Amino acid sequence: MKLAGVEISCLDWDADCFTFPPSLYTLSNLQGHHQEVWCLALSPNGDYLVSSSHDKSLRLWERTREPLILEEEREMQREMEYEESIAKEDQPVVAGETQGEAGLAGRKTIETVKAAERLMEAIELYREETAKLEEHKAICKAAGKEVPLPVNPILQAYGNISPSAYVLEVLKKVKLSELEESLLVLPFSYVPDLLILFNRFLQLGSDVELLCRALLFLLRIHFGQITSNQLLVKMMENLKKTTISQVSQVRDALGFNLAGLQFLKREIEAKEEVTFFADATEQFEEKKRKRKKKQKMVLTMV
């Protein structure tokens, strides 16, 4: 809890989100004192809390039985911070804009929320199309013949790509400066689908750098929930092998290309030196011919 800017530690473990609230998150913001809190006293049974403030007031806080959902509290806190940032004219609205310079997104903005919503819509479309494909296969198997499957208009607009490829296209359109903040806004219910798609894309070697960056960030912010799910743990083991293999290939390709560029650089420099030497030799021969011509003219005049 936070009283007039002072946090109160609480030894509660959130088993749903696998987080430890003290000093990491604000559980509740109790509005009461008008100035800073100087002293706190907790009853032995933990039902009452007395606080004294610089405004010369004492307040008695009673613990209620109403459940406190951390996710909702954090979401409300982020919304309040966002509204306060918009209310201030000197605060940038676009993520990362500070005195005309671009940087990483620091808080939830309209752009990051829209990017997260587009990503959620893409994942939902992937789920729907995958379910339709399974139903279509069952129908074709029962009928004993191929039945045409209607193509989703959105996928058709992208050139009849697969639903998984559409998710990758939406992810690629997110600005790199807003990628992490957009993934932070994304609910955890969409993360397992992303992990499955990331494993598939990495096996194909598509956008390894982007996928690794998004994968590491998702693992960092959802570590507890991912490690508590056995299916996701197996998926992460597969992702580990695939990621190491693909990153090694990308590193080898970059090393080979760098060595090739250095070789071409040396060849060009050597060629320029030869050209310069040839030009210098030609100029020397030209001067030599002019000198001989002058000597002949002098001998003729004599």
pLDDT digits (tens, 9 = 90+) for 97-108: 444 444 444 566
The average pLDDT across 218-245 equals: 86
What global pTM score does this model have? 0.51
Q: Encode pLDDT of 261-300 as tens digits.
A: 888 888 887 777 665 556 667 777 888 888 777 776 655 6
Residue with more model confidence, 176 or 90:
176
Burial label for 125, CB within 10 Å (0-12, 13-18, 19+), is: middle
Cα 264 from Cα 295, distance rounded (Å): 47
Q: Read off the pLDDT band of 44 (50, 70, 90).
A: confident
pLDDT at 30: 61
| Mean pLDDT taken over the chain | 76
